[in-house]
Each structure stands twice: as structure tokens, then as C-alpha cells.
Structure 1
Amino acid sequence: MNNTSIYPPTLDGESIEKKRQEIVEYFNNTYTLFEKVFETLMSDEVFYKKSEPSRHPMIFYFGHTATFFINKLILMKIIDKRVDANFESIFAVGVDEMAWDDVNAKNYAWPKVDEVREYRAKVKEIVSKLIMNLELELPIKQDSPMWVILMGIEHERIHIETSLVLHRQMPLEFVKCVEEFNICSHSSQAPKNEMIKIDSTHIKLGKSTTHNLYGWDNEYGVYEEEVGKFKASKYLVSNAEFMEFVQDGGYENEEFWDEEGLEYLKSSKAKYPVFWVYEDRVYRYRALCEVIDMPLDWPVDVNALEAEAFCRYKSKKDGVSCVLPSEAEYRAIYEQTNIEDLPAFHQSRANLNFYHYASSCPVNEFGFHTNSGESIYDVVGNVWQWSRTPMRPFDGFEVHEAYDDFTVPTFDEKHALILGSSWASSGNLIMKHSRYAFRKHFPQNAGFRYVISNNQNESKSDIYESDELVSQYCEFQYGDTYFGVKNFAKECAKIAVEFSTNKTKALDLGCATTRASFELAKDFDEVEGVDFSARFIQVGVRLKERGYIAFASKLEGDLVQNKKVTIQELGYEDIAHKVSFWQGDACNLKPNLSSYDLVMATNLIDRLYNPKLFLETIHERLNSDGILMITSPYTWQESSTQKEMWLGGFVDASGNEVRTLDSLKEILSEHFDLVHLRDIEFVIKETARKFQHTISQCSIWKKK
């Protein structure tokens, strides 16, 4: 399978043209390999099947990675024209079982597979030309347009692996074997596991922004820990070793499962791992496109809850405390086997990047020597290894503006880190510093090893919002009022309700941290809050789910005041059920976001990449006599909107000053009557002694 292997390009180099060629080859390889994954589906009809109810059908994933390129390139103003606005809406947002995920089939009219193939071909041509023609300086930095291209490539590398998992969950009659994904052909008795010593060491996690390989936001920053000596299992847990747990009634014995694990057993009715098949009283193994005799010496594929249950079982059986390794303990193993960061060093010595097989292989096939001379196997590759560490930010964590919600929604203590990569991992996925996490019940190409350790679990991150921008908006919407200026979110909702004749359904567009959505629900039967970033809407989700929000209000320098507001204090406990939140692009909303009596666009239009498009189409979302409420301070800036897209704040070719309100009247007059104008003040606290005092113009428009 090594004909599909290609290394990620470094960010540095001496020749720009050589670097372009390196990137375009990496892009083409990634694009081709991704499409090869979908050749495992038996027919085009299967593209409309779901591997499980909580996921989209396969057609979504086929279109998603291509639309990702276009949506990010538009967001970062690298291109200004869409390829297909409908595709770039319905294929935009994936599923991680967040409250804002929309898997309702009624809300989607999926296109034909051939139409998506044609779309992918168009995107491929666009991206290829950009790679060869974008301005480029070496080294490539995070503010470079080429960084966004690399982001799209690595995003597709992720979906190569996750799509294979989804296809493997399909019924056998829906998938077929493809030559490029031939599985390992050998297996024998599993080796008996044993524990080896790992020396104490100082671990420093995180990398600097000068690192020469692409990275996701969560990889940057610093975390340090003194890791005491511990013991680690020599091998990953094999199917044979896990079989003992299954046959000893491990899935039936509730003492081995925590609360989340018991809920998983109740909902899934699981009696054994998801990729095991029980036929004629014999356990067999589900590979990608076939069921084979159980390969006892291959690593077991389990979710984190099953791995944790096994550790409790083994602890009781052996009289020792077995747990999953922490992120820092895994790094201690990694460093004491002297694995280098570049994949070229270890892919010939590990089962990853499709280099050897398109499946797992025996747990004793790829070994490494520790500094003390002992052998440990599959430090990288074969299957991912679940850890006991939730996804948490390092000190100095910052989001990247092109993908500001790649990691932030997973800082919820519900996403466990997976470490070490699998046979299907490639690109950034196999790097030393890569950090990926999934919900504990998710199936992946993941197994585990266990450790015997006295190292303490890392303390939980506190309940207070760690994202500085989100915290600032929480203070703005839920915090104190200043200088006698009323709460802006409450005041906007009050005015919107005043002018709304019908109060069945409202859309709070650009809802930010969602205060106005809840305020509208006091009068409307249903309210939908939509924002471009999940970072913001998760505040409302947490308020509904946890019953409170907590945030850090900045005082000065690094000093903050922690604040907590409950749903009872806000008076929303009886209306929260009427509010839902969705991630969306105001210039390219999904078709199902319609039939509103009110659309409230708060401080939004001067932040859109195409405000005219938004205004020309928003009437389609409103019922007869519906109300459109727009507020904006008209702070046009090129960082948000290219100047040629501004609606005001400039002098036109004839020498006339163009004001935003005049443009609003011109654009909206065909479908709306202007019924009211007023100013609304707001104050945003930056520190205890620094505030933004702004006046937003509010215009109320009634649909004709």
C-alpha cells in the first residue's frame, strides 16, 4: 500500500517553486486517496445510507471536504466567488453530537453523487491553481494564504480515516473490497502481555509557532509535568486479551463501568466490541469490507468506555491499579523510545500511513527499544491509543481565525485524547505533537494499552470560560451594566418584540453568546439562534444543559474576576426549551432556516463578507408581514469585509459620500418598508478601566 504514502510538506525550504510543487503533489495525493475511500461503497445508492443514526449519510462526507476548502478560502478572503452556494451550505457542518448538529433528514435535499463528483473536480482545479499562484514566502506562517490550503489538506486527511471507520460500520452488502485497501493477511496466537518500566522524566508538551510542520490550534502552547516512574504494557491489548474480559461477563458486570459507560451499554446493548461479530457461538472480526476469523494477536478496537471498563476489570483481577495512560505518560514512552518527529523515520517501523496494510496487524510486529533496553510495541501506529486525559488547552492556546472552532467545543471534559495514530493515519495525524480527541463512546481505529501508575490524574480545568473573546462577550451580554447604559441584548430583544405583530418563530442571526435568543423566547413560541462560530453558541447550549454559565471578566493584565450566572437568576428556566442554536453562515444559510416572523440581525452586516447578498435574500426567510431588525455601528473594516463589498463609509466614483443607511434603503426597498429608526448604545468591558462605548443604529423593516 506504500504507493499512496506521501509526506506532509515542511513549512520551510529554499525554493518557492519547489515548495509549490511539493504542496500540489501532497494535495493531489490527499484528494485522490479520499476519493478512493469512497470507492469502497458498493453503489451510488449507498451514499445516501447512514452508518449509524447520529451521523450524516455518506454523501455528506463525500462533499464536505471539498466545500471546506471553498468556505475557508472565502472566509479568509483568498477567493470571492462560490462554486455552488447550496453545496457550500448543506455540506458545511459535520457531526460531533453537539447540540447544534443538525442530522434531521428533512432539512436536507442531497444532490446526486455525480453532481458532487463534478463539484469536487471544480474545487480541485481551483485549489491546484491557487497553490501554484498564491503569493508565497518561506517559511509558511499561520497568516499565510497557503496555511489555509494546508489546513484544507490536513482536514481531508482526517476525513480519510474517519470515513473509513464509517464505511466499516456499514452492513457488508453496502461495501466492497478495493485493491488499495488490502488488509494484513497473517495472524497467530497473541503474545502474553507484560509490564515494562518507564523512567521518571520531565515532560514538556506543546510546540512553538516556529515549528516546521503544519499544526492545529491545540498543538501550540506549553504544558509541563514531572512524570514519576510507572509501568506500561509491552503490547497493545489484543483481541485475545480483551476476549477474557468479554467471556468473564465484563459487559454484564456493572461494577466495571462508570455512569457514562452504563449509559453506553443501555443505549447500545453492546455485549462485545463494535467490530466483533458473533456467529454460530464464535467471535469473528469485521474488517473494512469482510468478516474474517478472529485475529487474536491484532489489537482490539474499542471505545474509551470499553477500555476503561477493561482496566477496572484487570485491576480487580490482578490486584493492581491499571489505568489508561495520561497524555504526559504517553509522551514519556514516546521520548524514551527515541522516536523522531518526522514520519519518514518511523513509518517503515510502524503500521501507519497505509504503508504496510489497510488494517491492524499483530501487536508484536513493530517494536521499539526503550532507553533501558526493554522492548515496547506499537508506540505509534496500528491503532490509536485511548488516554485518560480530556482535551484541554495548553497555556498560550489561541484559535486560528480560519477555523476558530476546530478545538474549542471539545474543551468540555467529554472528549478523550487519542494518541499514537493508526494504520489509516497520515499527514498531521502521525506527528509527534498532534492532538485529537473524540467522545468516549465513538468508535474509531482505536485500542489501548494500560499502565500501572502513581501519577495523579491532571486536575480538571475549572468551570470558567477560558476563551478570552467569548468571556468578553459573556461579560457584555450577561455581566454588569456600566455608565447607565442598558443591557444591549435585552434592549434589542425588547424592541424587536415591540414591532413584531406575529410571535410564532424568530431568528436571532449573529446571536453571539445567545442572551437575546433567550430574551426573545419570553414572547416567541420558538427561537433559533444562529452564529458563524460554535465558540459562541456553545454558551447558550451550556446554559440550557448545565443550568449556568461561567466566565472570567478581565480586570488588568492577567488578573480576572470569575463570574457565574445561573438560568434561574436569568429567569429562563421555563422558556429554555423554546430556544435552539445552530452554526451557520448568514450569507449562505441552510434552506430549512425559514418561515420566521422576526429576523434580528444584531451588529452583523458590517462583519459579513457579502452583506449585499445577505440583504437581497433575507426576505426569503420571512413570513408575510415579517419583521427584519438590523442593528449596526457601521464600523466597516477590510479585515471583515473587502472594501468593494462595503455598503457605506466611502466615496464613490462620482465623488459622492455613500452612507450605509442609504444603501440599506436601496437594497431592501423592493421587499421591505422602513418603519422605524433609533440609536441603541452599548458598552463592552475590556478591562476594569477600559471600555468600548458604541452607538448602534437600529432599523426596523416590515416585509411587504
Structure 2
Amino acid sequence: MSKFSLYPVTLDGGDIQKKREEIREYFYNTNMIFEKVFELLKSDEVFYKKSEITRHPMIFYFGHTATFYINKLINMKIIDERINPDFESIFAIGVDEMDWDDTESKNYTWPKVQDVREYRTKVRDLVDKLIMNIPLSLPITQDSDMWIILMGIEHERIHIETSLVLHRQMPLEYIKEVDGLTPCFEAGDAPKNEMVEIPEAQVNLGKDSSHNLYGWDNEYGEESIHVDKFQASKYLVSNSEFMEFVKDGGYDNEEYWDEEGKKFLDITSAKHPPFWVMQNGVYRYRALSKIIDMPSNWPVDVNALEAEAFCRYKTQKEGIAYTLPSEAEYGAITLHVGLKDIPEFDENSANLNLNNFSSCPVDKHNFGDIYDVVGNVWQWSSTPIHGFEGFKVHEAYDDFSVPTFDNKHALILGSSWASSGNLIMKHSRYAFRRHFYQHAGFRYVVSALHKEAKIDIYESDELVSQYCEFQYGEEKFGVENFAIACAKLASKFAINRGKALDLGCATGRATFELAKTFDEVEGLDFSVRFVQVGSKLKNDGYVAFHTYEEGEIFTNKKVTIEELGYEKIREKVSFWQGDACNLKPNFNSYDLVIATNLIDRLYNPKLFLETVVDRLNRDGILILTSPYTWQESSTKKEFWLGGYRDKNGKEVRTLEALKEILGAKFELIHTQDIEFVIKETSRKYQHTISQATVWKKN
């Protein structure tokens, strides 16, 4: 079964029917591997256990990849109906340690494993039909419906790998061996590592939109960096080489650890790599489904903090400055060995694409004068992930890349034995928090390269900056700040002031303003790019952005929580990513729900209005604001609440539709207009009038 993982589908080709069949085969292959990986869990009861405290139980991940298809297909208006709204809510979000990732067990009632299996079958059948029937032209481009199918497939490929990590972290008593998930059986003495000179190079990172393989948004764009010659370790750091660090007290010597590393040690009390097991005074090795004798010549599995600590230890010991390679230095290594985009490696040329279900010796796969340029384990880098010049968020998955542009996520390079699909492509870019564990190790370099500067996404995302200016900038033309005006309206009409929900919170200004009069306020937005601004203001105490003045000229701005007067109420607010039309069950019991400029941007506004009543307490207040700018890019015309003529030629207005939909359960108690101004440049502004309606729950 060593070749059971197929290689990625190309985006070009001449025969559309053959391309459909190729995608279909790739889809089924991905689904098969994912479900086979979950056969490692000994019983259905294990699905409800966590392998790591900051993660969900495994049932979440089992359902997550299926719901991903449905949520993206709904959001991109490729389908109109959900299969299971409850599943597509609770399994939607929560795979990283973001503030808006809710991993509190009390907020979830997990379904039966068999029900999730049946759900996965329904999703599989739906996606199969779409693959064979949705409109398709070649090459497949990012605006194609089929791109969303490929996105779902590659997303599941990611979770094949991350699930293997989580299963490997699960106590062995809950794991069983599975036929076909065969590890490498080669092990022996480790080679002595040595340095290889890598010549200077002009490294061009990024790829263009004409590339014939699927890519995530952060892979596109360009960045050119000159790399002076440097030295790189011939081999990945082996278990044997890392053992020297452990035996020399590396985990106990604070000199080798930065502040984040010391915090990691305080929390975990780690004394050795995570997959080493001390038995009878001897270190052994936790493989996927068994504990084996220490494979000295396999690469060590560590997080970035441990890798960096080893480099400091080696630097002190030898008097030579060792560091992790930067993204550009790794690019220079790939140029040095002539690595292609995606060579068809077999088990004899690289340890990737699930050729083995474990690492293998670091001196097995030779790429010229350096080993394991790709495969075996991912290689931690010193580079925080960022967007290249020309980076554009893909609208279907705006929370894939941008939340990681926070200087807390380091790039991992080169793929692992568990990598497949997009993960093994030369241009792939994945990043994790430095304390995370993946199937990742490292090699070290000696260089004089100035590491890439950290980049603040809030100063590089034009749309986010525009909304920051809108919510946190100065008032224009005598028009009151819209977020403040809406919060004042809410405070005026709220009967009880316990908990409030700010739906469509954008960058969070109204959420904070509401906290002046409410005990607790939750801000929720579909776009994580917005959510993370409010979260940053709460946790880091500032928001930085730029505002365009003329052409490419812009002004940098920074607003602090002290300047805004929110420092004493910051603990009353929280921020979440979510779908207003399909909220998780725990978003309930509100005295106020305010949905600002939201209903004409929802894919099913009537569904939202019919379900929001259940989120409110008795005498709860619902406030809707909207300029009623209905557009088909946001809402299919058949779901518009107003702004059209019916079949008899009668004008349908949104306010009348609101009265009809809400009238049975709400009383309309107030209506008013609220102006707002959005700055585009210093000489161009949008001036809009939003209608606010205030409804009391009967």
C-alpha cells in the first residue's frame, strides 16, 4: 500500500470529461486515506478523547473536513441547501489556538460517531455529483466552482497529516495497528552531521496565477531575495544528534531558551522531545501505533522552540553561530539541488506522500550533497509567514492564511512522510505556532543573512485598513462614528443589559462601545480578518493600520486601547468567527442582538431573521441596520428581501419584508436613519445612509 496516495490533479488538460474523472479519483483517494487514518482509534469512545489539551476531541476533526465542503459550497453559492446545519456549525471552526477558536467542551454536544460517518457519506455523494456535473472549463482557475472542490480535497489532505500527529500524541492504549499503515523498518547508527556550502543565489519566491497546480492564497505573489553563500547541515538533525543536547541538560538550561521557550517549558515541564518515551532508564520512540527501540538515525521530532534551543546550545558549544534557515535560504538549497515543482518521488527517492507511515534514516534519501531536501520531516524555519507582494485573500477561505500573519506562526518547509497533495509541492507554504508539534524536525545553517523582517498584517491588508479607518479613524464631515452611534442606539432601547451580541462586528469598535453599558459583549463576524483586529486590540492593546491619501501614498496610524478608553472594559468583550445564518448553539441568551449593515450581505437573510429570535431572552432587543444595497454577489436574487418588483410588477421594499418576517415574534418599536462615511482616499469618501430598525421580542 506504499503507493496508495495519488499525486495532485493538474489544473490544465484538454479533455474535460477525463479531468472530471481525474478529480473524482483524487477526491475518493483522499477520502479513503482520511477515514483509514481514523481506523487507528481503538473504539468509538476514543473519538471523544483529546490527544492534546488545546485541541478538540477527535470527533471534531472527523466531522470537520466534511463540513468544510458544505460550508464553502454554501458560502460561494454553489449549493443552496445544507445537509445538517447542526454539524456544519459545531464542526466548522476550531483548529488553531486563536482567541476565536472555541475549544470549551461545555459549549458542545458531540454527535454519535455513526451519525458522523453517515453524514460523511452524504457529503461524499454530493461532492461526487458536483464533480461530475458543475460547469467546468480548462484550465481550472481560482474563480471556478471546481476550485472550491479542489480546496476541499486539499484541506482534507492537510487534516490527514495533522490527524496523524494527533493520533500519535494519543495514549497508546487508545490506538491500534491498522493494515497498510506500514512504518519504515530501517534503523541504525546515525551519521555524523557536517556542513555543506550552498552558493549565493537570487531566490524568487511565490508563484503566479497561471501555475498548473492548486495553491493556497499565500503561495501567490512574488518576493525576490539575494542570499549570500552559507552553510547548511548535510542531514536533518537525528535523534542521536539531539540526544547530546538532552543529556547535556539542554531542557534545564535557560540560556538556550527565549521567553516563549521558557513559557513552553513552564507549561509542559518538557525534558525531551515529545515522541521519546523513558522506559527502564532508556529512551525509546513513540511511532504511530507502537513504541519501538530508539531509531538513532531517524530525524528528531521537535517544535520550533526546541529546535532553536538546540541551535543556541550548539552555538555555545562550538563558538559558531548556528540558526534555523530562513525561507529564502531554504529556497537557495532547493535551487542548489535543482528541485522541481513536484517530482514524482517514490519510496526510494524521498520519504513523502505516505510512502511510509513513519520517518526513515536521515542518510537514506540523497539530493546530491544534501539529504532530505524534501520529505521525512518538515523543517522549521526562522521566517514568520507573511504575504508576498501581490498577495490576495481568496474569498472562499479568508481564514486560511491571514490569521497566521501575526509573527507567531513560523514556516515549516519541505514536507514530511505524512504529506501529500499540495503539501509536497515546492511552492507550498504552511506555518504553525512555534510550540506546536507536527511531523517536523530541522536542519541548521551558518550564515550572515539578515532574517526577514516581521510584517504586521494590519498594515498590509487594504480592506482591513479601510475598516479600521472607518471604525477607529477621525469623524468626517460632521458625521458621527457609525459604531458609536449604533452602540448609543442599542443602549437607549435595551431593557436588560446582561449579554449582547454584535453581529457583523467588523473590526470591533461597537463591541467595545457596547461593553460600556452591557456586562458581556460578544463580537462575531464571518471574516476572521476583521475579527482578529478586535482581538488584537483586546489582547495587545493597539490597532495599527494605514489609510490611503493619494495613489500609493498612505499614512500609518496606530490607535491604543488607552486612547479609546477601553482598558477597563476589555475583559467584558470577546471575538468570534461565525456564520450568522448558522450560528453554533452556544451563541444564545442575549438581551441584545445588533446586526449592523449585515442582512443585505447574507446568503440567506430570511433564515437569519427566522432563527435569531431563539438567541434572545424575553424582552430582548434586536437592532438591524442596513442601507439595503442588495447585490447578487452577496445574495442570490431569489433570497433578496427587497429591492425588486414581484411577478405582478409591485415594488418590494425591505422594511415591509422585515415586518412580515419578524412581525409574529417581534414588535417594531423604533426606526431611524444613521449616516456613515467611509474613507477611500483623502479626497474620496463613501457617504451612506443606513436604516436602523429596533425590534422587541414578544
The 3-state SS of whatever aligns with 1:177 is coil
Q: What does 1:417-456 correspond to in 2, within 5 Å?
A: 417-456=411-450
Say whether the 8 Å CA contact 1:464–1:562 is kept in structure 2. no
Counterpart of 1:372?
A: none
Counterpart of 1:367?
A: 366
The 3-state SS of whatever aligns with 2:592 is strand
Q: What does 1:561-600 correspond to in 2, within 5 Å?
A: 561-600=555-594
The 3-state SS of whatever aligns with 2:60 is helix
Counterpart of 1:220?
A: 220
Give the drift of 1:10: 0.5
**Matched letter for residue 132 of structure 1:** M
State the TM-score, normalized to the length of structure 2: 0.99
Residue among 506, 516, 520 paired with 2:510: 516
Counterpart of 2:618?
A: 624
Give the drift of 1:465: 2.6
How many residue pairs get matched?
698
**Matched letter for residue 292 of structure 1:** I
Give the drift of 1:2: 2.6
Q: What does 1:168-567 correspond to in 2, within 5 Å?
A: 168-344=168-344, 348-355=348-355, 357-369=356-368, 375-462=369-456, 464-567=458-561
Give the drift of 1:347: 6.3
The 3-state SS of whatever aligns with 1:267 is helix
The 3-state SS of whatever aligns with 2:35 is helix
Counterpart of 1:78?
A: 78
Report the Cα distance in structure 1 between the residues aligned to 2:181 and 2:313, rounded to whole angstroms: 35
Partner deviation per Cα, 1:326-381 (whole Å, 9 max, x = no partner)? 000001111111121123157651000012x1000000000011xxxxx1100000
**Matched letter for residue 633 of structure 1:** P
Report the Cα distance in structure 1 between the residues aligned to 2:661 and 2:347, rounded to whole angstroms: 58
Say whether the 8 Å CA contact 1:340–1:346 is kept in structure 2. no
Report the Cα distance in structure 1 between the residues aligned to 2:165 and 2:476, rounded to whole angstroms: 52
Partner deviation per Cα, 1:298-338 (whole Å, 9 max, x = no partner)? 00000000000000000111110000000000011111111
Report the Cα distance in structure 2 between the residues aligned to 1:617 and 1:345, rounded to whole angstroms: 52
Partner deviation per Cα, 1:625-666 (whole Å, 9 max, x = no partner)? 000000000000000000000000011112211000000000
Report the Cα distance in structure 1 between the residues aligned to 2:82 and 2:541, rounded to whole angstroms: 40
Give the drift of 1:405: 1.5
State the TM-score, normalized to the length of structure 1: 0.98
Report the Cα distance in structure 2 between the residues aligned to 1:628 and 1:457, rounded to whole angstroms: 51
Say whether the 8 Å CA contact 2:405–2:457 is kept in structure 1. no
The 3-state SS of whatever aligns with 1:277 is strand
Say whether the 8 Å CA contact 1:606–1:632 is kept in structure 2. yes
Report the Cα distance in structure 2 between the residues aligned to 1:428 and 1:462, rounded to whole angstroms: 26
The 3-state SS of whatever aligns with 2:240 is helix
The 3-state SS of whatever aligns with 1:56 is coil
Report the Cα distance in structure 2 between the residues aligned to 1:585 and 1:91, rounded to whole angstroms: 12
The 3-state SS of whatever aligns with 1:168 is helix
Report the Cα distance in structure 1 between the residues aligned to 2:584 and 2:345, rounded to whole angstroms: 46
Partner deviation per Cα, 1:597-616 (whole Å, 9 max, x = no partner)? 00000000000000000101
Pairwise CA RMSD of aligned residues? 0.9
Say whether the 8 Å CA contact 1:140–1:147 is kept in structure 2. yes
1:675 aligns with 2:669: yes
Give the drift of 1:544: 1.1
Report the Cα distance in structure 1 between the residues aligned to 2:279 and 2:478, rounded to whole angstroms: 72
**Matched letter for residue 387 of structure 1:** S
Give the drift of 1:458: 1.3
Gaps of 5+ in 2: none
Report the Cα distance in structure 1 between the residues aligned to 2:177 and 2:21, rounded to whole angstroms: 32
1:138 aligns with 2:132: no
Partner deviation per Cα, 1:73-121 (whole Å, 9 max, x = no partner)? 0000000000000000000002211111111111101000000000000
Say whether the 8 Å CA contact 1:339–1:346 is kept in structure 2. no
Counterpart of 1:642?
A: 636
Partner deviation per Cα, 1:398-417 (whole Å, 9 max, x = no partner)? 00000012110111111000
Report the Cα distance in structure 2 between the residues aligned to 1:522 and 1:346, rounded to whole angstroms: 62
Report the Cα distance in structure 1 between the residues aligned to 2:477 and 2:691, rounded to whole angstroms: 19
Give the drift of 1:460: 2.0
Partner deviation per Cα, 1:172-196 (whole Å, 9 max, x = no partner)? 0101111121111121100000001
Say whether the 8 Å CA contact 1:198–1:333 is kept in structure 2. yes
Partner deviation per Cα, 1:510-530 (whole Å, 9 max, x = no partner)? 100000000000000000011
Counterpart of 2:34?
A: 34
| Alpha-carbon spacing, 1:464–1:593, altered in 2? closer, same or farther (3 Å) | closer
Report the Cα distance in structure 1 between the residues aligned to 2:180 and 2:600, rounded to whole angstroms: 49
Gaps of 5+ in 1: 370-374
The 3-state SS of whatever aligns with 1:13 is coil
The 3-state SS of whatever aligns with 1:246 is helix
Say whether the 8 Å CA contact 2:402–2:457 is kept in structure 1. no
**Matched letter for residue 141 of structure 2:** K
**Matched letter for residue 628 of structure 2:** Y
Name whichever of 465-474 and 640-649 sits farther off. 465-474
The 3-state SS of whatever aligns with 1:471 is helix
Say whether the 8 Å CA contact 2:406–2:456 is kept in structure 1. no
Say whether the 8 Å CA contact 2:348–2:365 is kept in structure 1. no
The 3-state SS of whatever aligns with 1:272 is coil
Say whether the 8 Å CA contact 1:609–1:642 is kept in structure 2. yes
The 3-state SS of whatever aligns with 1:670 is coil
The 3-state SS of whatever aligns with 1:311 is helix
Partner deviation per Cα, 1:44-74 (whole Å, 9 max, x = no partner)? 0000000111000000000000000000000
**Matched letter for residue 440 of structure 2:** A
Say whether the 8 Å CA contact 1:530–1:583 is kept in structure 2. yes
The 3-state SS of whatever aligns with 2:180 is helix
Give the drift of 1:3: 3.4
The 3-state SS of whatever aligns with 1:549 is strand
The 3-state SS of whatever aligns with 1:322 is coil
Give the drift of 1:463: 7.3
Report the Cα distance in structure 2 between the residues aligned to 1:331 and 1:675, rounded to whole angstroms: 63
TM superposition outliers: structure 1 runs of 4+ over 4 Å = 345-348
Partner deviation per Cα, 1:208-259 (whole Å, 9 max, x = no partner)? 0000000001000111111000000000000000000000000000000000
Say whether the 8 Å CA contact 1:7–1:343 is kept in structure 2. no
**Matched letter for residue 220 of structure 1:** Y
Say whether the 8 Å CA contact 2:409–2:431 is kept in structure 1. yes
Name whichever of 178-187 and 609-618 sits farther off. 178-187
The 3-state SS of whatever aligns with 1:235 is coil
The 3-state SS of whatever aligns with 1:492 is helix
